[in-house]
Amino acid sequence: MSSEVLKVDDLTCGYGDRPVLKGLSFSVEDGELLGVIGPNGSGKTTLVRALTKILEPMDGRILLEGRDIKEMDLSELARRIAVVSQNPEGGSWMTVEEFVLLGRVPHRRKFQLLETKHDEEVAERAMALTGTLGLKGRLLKELSGGERQLVSIAKALCQEPKLLLLDEPTAHLDIAHQVRVLDLIKKLNRDDGLTAITVLHDLNLAGEYCDRLLLLKDGKLCRTGLPEEVLDPRVIEDAYGVKVVVGRNPASSKPYVFPIPNAK
């Protein structure tokens, strides 16, 4: 039986007195890989900031395993939600192992300064899962963009989160690294039951890898459902203002979106 990991209930959130998300409601089940899509300005980044308490809701609630995140301090939230951003930040002079071990900070006891043997074992397992164990002695500044993104995922896994939140994890990566990163997320989701939400601009990657899609438009829920239900030509035209044809990937039978050029 599935259980609800995250519930967003009538969320209104924004900047100053200007709401960006307006009455948004959805839930994420345990073991689900949810893709969040939508045109620029639809509220995807605002949603990520709300889920991580960077922004406080104007109205509504965000429940994580039944608890309002308002009741959690940042350290507790970091033990439950780990974030991978599109531009991973961190000291370029740190080694990969040192960077990954930062994921254990939320688990440290008061006055604990050094990593424990358990911390090191968790970090090594996270690097092994992401294929970055062989990089552990390298400096971050020596890594390619794709390698650095995989290391960022290792750091997030080192937090041992209940929910992994990825904000455009394939941005600025070539197609080979896009596939490598999303293959990894799908494998962790399928084999280890990792629950994940990923924000994606590429509709075809979203349709290929995600169990379910959440389409935002103007800060509101436009459509949610299976990829073939959301990646419908009429739905996409309404949300993005562009005509498309939707076919099938011959290798996977997943929906594939082809834009129709309107140049004369």
Average pLDDT, the chain: 92
Q: What is the CATH number of the domain that holds 5?
A: 3.40.50.300
109: pLDDT strictly greater than 80: no
* 246 domain-assigned: yes
**Is residue 25 within a helix (H) or strand (E), and if so which, with residue range?**
strand 18-29
Question: In 3D, which of 47, 51, 119 has the Cα closest to residue 81?
Answer: 51
Query: Token digits for 159?
Result: 């937090």
Q: What type of residue sits at position 206?
A: A
Specify if 234 maps to a domain.
Answer: yes
In a domain, 188, yes or no: no
> Please, are residues 14 and 20 in contact by the beta-carbon 8 Å criterion?
yes
pLDDT digits over 29-50, tens only?
999 999 999 999 999 999 999 9
Q: Which pTM does this prediction carry? A: 0.92
Domain assignment present for residue 126? The answer is: no
Q: Which domain holds residue 230?
A: 1-65+194-264
Whether 239 is in a domain gets the answer yes
Number of domains forming the structure of the chain: 1
User: Does 169 reside within a domain?
Assistant: no
Q: Which pLDDT tens digit goes with each residue over 66-102? A: 999 999 999 899 999 999 987 666 667 899 999 999 9
Q: Which residues pair with 35 in a beta bridge?
A: 198, 213
Kindly tell me if the per-residue pLDDT of 1 is higher than 50.
no
Picking from 186, 195, 199, the residue whose alpha carbon sits closest to that of residue 49 is: 199
pLDDT of 116 > 90? The answer is no
Is 130 contained in some domain?
no
Residue 141 lies in a domain: no
Question: Which of 169, 215, 233, 228 has its CA nearest to residue 38?
Answer: 215
Dist CA 163 CA 184 (whole Å): 15
